[in-house]
Amino acid sequence: MHNEFAITKVKVRKKCHALLGRPDHNIDVGREVSMVGLGVILCTGAIIGLSGFFLLVGGLIKYGGITGFVKGWLTAFTGI
C-alpha cells in the first residue's frame, strides 16, 4: 500500500544516436511527450499570430491606410 503513489520512469530501448545525435540509447518518454506538446503549442500560437497579422494587413488595405482603419474600427466599436 505504501507504493501506490510511486511514480515510475519509463525508458524505451531504441537506437537513436544516428537519428537524434545522442550517444545514449535510453529515451525518457515523458520528456519526449512534453517536447512534442510544447512544439504543438508553439506551432498553434504561431499560426494564430500570423493569421491575426494577415487579417490586420487585410483590414489596412481595405480601408486605405491606418486612418481609415482606425476610423472604421472606432465607428464599429462606438456606433457613431
At residue 62, the pLDDT reads 87
Quickly state the pLDDT bin for 16 (edges 50, 70, 90). Answer: low
- Is 29 within 8 Å of 10 (Cβ atoms)? yes
Tell me, yes or no, whether 4 lies in a domain: no
Domain that holds residue 74: 11-78
Tell me, yes or no, whether 2 lies in a domain: no
Q: Give Dmax (Cα) for the chain.
A: 71
Over residues 21-65, the pLDDT tens digits come to 555 556 678 888 899 999 999 999 999 999 999 999 998 898 888
Give CA separation, 18 vs 13, 39, 78, in Å: 14, 22, 61
Tell me, yes or no, whether 61 lies in a domain: yes
As for how many domains the chain has, the answer is 1
Tell me, yes or no, whether 1 lies in a domain: no
More confident: 13 or 73: 73
Tell me, yes or no, whether 67 lies in a domain: yes
At residue 69, the pLDDT reads 86
At residue 79, the pLDDT reads 86
Tell me, yes or no, whether 6 lies in a domain: no
